[in-house]
Structure 1
Amino acid sequence: MACPSVTTGNRFLSEAIAHIDCQAQAIGAYGYGALAEPGSGMSIALTGLLTIFIAIFGYRLMLGEEMRARGLVGDMLKLGIVLTLATSWPAWRTLGYDVAMKAPGELAGAISGASQLPGSGNDLVSRMQAADDAIVILTVYGTGRTMGGAVRSDTIGDRLEGIAVTDREGLADGRMAYLAGILAPFALVRLGAGFFLALAPLMAGLLLFAGTRDLFFGWLRGVGALGLGSAALSVLQGVQLAILEPWLRDALALRSAQVLTPSAPTELSVITSVFMVVSFALLFVIAKIFFFGGMGVQGVWQHIQIARDRNASSAPAASFVDGERNAQPRALLIAESVSQVLRREERGGGFDRLPGSLALNRPDERMALAGAGGARVEALGEHLRLPEARRYARGSNAGRKRDLK
Structure 2
Amino acid sequence: MTPCPGIVDGRFLESTLAFIDCQAQSLGAEGYQALVAPGGSLSVLLSGMLTIFIALFGYRLLLGEAPDMRSGIVAFVKIGIVFALALSWAAYRPLVYDVVMQGPASLVADVAAPSALPGTSGDLPARLGQVDRALQELGRPNIGSALPQAAQPQTTQANDAQAPQALRPPVSDPPSIFSPYSLGTARLTFLTATIASFASVRLVAGLLLALGPLFIGFLLFEGTRSIFEGWVRGLLGTAIGAIAVTLLLSVELALLEPWLATLILRRSTDPFLSGAATELLVVAFAFALTLIAGLGMAARFAMAFRLPATLRALPGRWASALADESGRVTLPLRAPLTSGLEPPSRAARLGDTVAQIERREAREREMQTQATGGYGATAPRDRASSGPQASGLHQRRGVRNRISASAGRRDNQP
Query: Would the aligned equivalents of 1:290 and 1:296 in 2 still touch at CA under 8 Å?
Result: no
| Counterparts of residues 49-198 of structure 1 (less than 5 Å) | 49-141=49-141, 169-198=181-210
**Residue 104 (structure 1) shift:** 0.7
Equivalent residue letter for 1:301: L
Q: From the superposition, tell whether residues 12 and 330 of structure 1 become closer, same or farther in structure 2 (CA, over 3 Å).
A: closer
In terms of Rg, which structure is larger? Answer: 2
Give, in whole Å, the separation in 2 of the partners of 1:334 and 1:72: 31
Aligned to 1:27: 27
2:290 is aligned with 1:278 = yes
Aligned to 1:208: 220
Give, in whole Å, the separation in 1 of the partners of 2:145 and 2:379: 114
Q: From the superposition, tell whether residues 365 and 43 of structure 1 become closer, same or farther in structure 2 (CA, over 3 Å).
A: same
Query: Would the aligned equivalents of 1:119 and 1:238 in 2 still touch at CA under 8 Å?
Result: yes
Give, in whole Å, the separation in 2 of the partners of 1:251 and 1:180: 22
Give, in whole Å, the separation in 2 of the partners of 1:144 and 1:299: 71
Q: Structure 2 stretches of 5 or more lacking a match?
A: 151-174, 335-348, 396-414
Q: From the superposition, tell whether residues 16 and 337 of structure 1 become closer, same or farther in structure 2 (CA, over 3 Å).
A: same
Give, in whole Å, the separation in 2 of the partners of 1:200 and 1:228: 18
TM-score by length of 2: 0.72
2:381 is aligned with 1:361 = yes
Aligned to 2:229: 217
TM-score by length of 1: 0.74
**Residue 262 (structure 1) shift:** 2.9
Aligned to 1:389: none
Give, in whole Å, the separation in 2 of the partners of 1:12 and 1:44: 43
Aligned to 2:161: none
Aligned-partner SS, 2:113: helix
Q: From the superposition, tell whether residues 55 and 177 of structure 1 become closer, same or farther in structure 2 (CA, over 3 Å).
A: same
Q: From the superposition, tell whether residues 327 and 24 of structure 1 become closer, same or farther in structure 2 (CA, over 3 Å).
A: closer
Give, in whole Å, the separation in 1 of the partners of 2:56 and 2:293: 45
Give, in whole Å, the separation in 1 of the partners of 2:309 and 2:222: 13
Q: From the superposition, tell whether residues 220 and 363 of structure 1 become closer, same or farther in structure 2 (CA, over 3 Å).
A: closer
Give, in whole Å, the separation in 2 of the partners of 1:359 and 1:297: 58
| Counterparts of residues 239-254 of structure 1 (less than 5 Å) | 239-254=251-266
Query: Aligned-pair RMSD on alpha carbons?
Result: 3.9
Query: Would the aligned equivalents of 1:139 and 1:171 in 2 still touch at CA under 8 Å?
Result: yes
Query: Would the aligned equivalents of 1:112 and 1:119 in 2 still touch at CA under 8 Å?
Result: no
- Answer with 101-110 or 330-339: which moved more: 330-339
Deviation track 1:206-245 (CA, whole Å, cap 9, x = no partner) reads 0000111100110011011101111111111110011111
Aligned to 2:239: 227
Q: From the superposition, tell whether residues 327 and 363 of structure 1 become closer, same or farther in structure 2 (CA, over 3 Å).
A: closer
**Residue 172 (structure 1) shift:** 0.7
Q: From the superposition, tell whether residues 250 and 59 of structure 1 become closer, same or farther in structure 2 (CA, over 3 Å).
A: same
Give, in whole Å, the separation in 2 of the partners of 1:70 and 1:143: 80
Deviation track 1:234-275 (CA, whole Å, cap 9, x = no partner) reads 111110011111221221121133364231111111111111
Aligned to 1:390: none
Aligned length: 340
Aligned to 2:16: 16
Relative contact order (alpha carbons < 8 A, sep ≥ 6): 1 or 2 greater?
A: 2
